[in-house]
């Protein structure tokens, strides 16, 4: 059974013109793009999405960054999608990311790190429901 995960091409990567290259890496790795949309989000929407990080020192900078320009929201499908996407993304800080990972290739800093991927089944369910309506996932 395919598993679903929520991924975001973050505003830094969209701004730098890396959207297509990142999508190509994702498809090459065997993910199906189940749903996709490009949009800008408000700071309030970013705060709601990252509510688990509320209170952390990077929360304000992170939510300002995520609302700084268009991003690309995606639902990705594959067996073991959640763990496999995290592996393809690489470490949060691109300085620690392995060769060949998306963050190693496309991320500029620990904050502006090109891509998001859900980290567990419950967070994936919350994040998919946060950005996508049921009719968008048919």
Site membership for ligand ATP, residue 64 (CB under 6 A): no
Site membership for ligand ATP, residue 11 (CB under 6 A): no
Site for ligand ATP in 16-55 (CB under 6 A): 53
DSSP states along 31-85: -EEEEEEEE---HHHHHHHTGGGTTSTTHHHHHHHHTSS-EEEEEEEETTHHHHH
Site membership for ligand ATP, residue 101 (CB under 6 A): no
In the complex with Mg ion, which residue's Cβ is closer, 119 or 136?
A: 119
- Give the one residue of 47, 81, 97, 116 binding ligand ATP; rule: CB under 6 A: 116
- 102: closest CA among 15, 16, 25? 25
Residue nearest to Mg ion as judged by C-beta position = 119
120: left (phi over 0), alpha (psi -120 to 50) or beta: beta
Do you know the residue count of the chain?
138
- The residue annotated as part of the active site, out of 4, 10, 78, 116, is 116
Report the C-alpha gap between 130 and 78 in whole angstroms: 20
- Give the one residue of 97, 117, 131, 132 binding ligand ATP; rule: CB under 6 A: 117
Residues of this chain that interact with ligand ATP (CB under 6 A) are 53, 58, 62, 92, 110-111, 113, 116-117, 119
């Amino acid at each position: 059974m395919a598993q679903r995960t929520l991924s975001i091409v973050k505003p830094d990567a969209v701004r730098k013109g890396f959207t297509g290259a990142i999508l190509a890496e994702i498809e090459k790795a065997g993910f199906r793009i189940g749903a996709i949309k490009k949009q800008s989000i408000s700071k309030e929407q970013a705060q709601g999405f990252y509510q688990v990080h509320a209170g952390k020192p990077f929360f304000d900078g992170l939510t300002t960054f995520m609302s700084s320009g268009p991003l690309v929201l995606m639902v990705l499908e594959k067996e073991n999608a959640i763990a496999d996407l995290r592996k393809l993304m690489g470490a949060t800080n691109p300085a620690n990311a392995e060769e060949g990972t998306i963050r190693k290739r496309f991320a500029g800093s620990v904050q502006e790190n090109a891509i998001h991927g859900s980290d567990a089944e419950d967070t994936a369910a919350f994040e998919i429901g946060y950005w996508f309506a049921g009719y968008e996932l048919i």
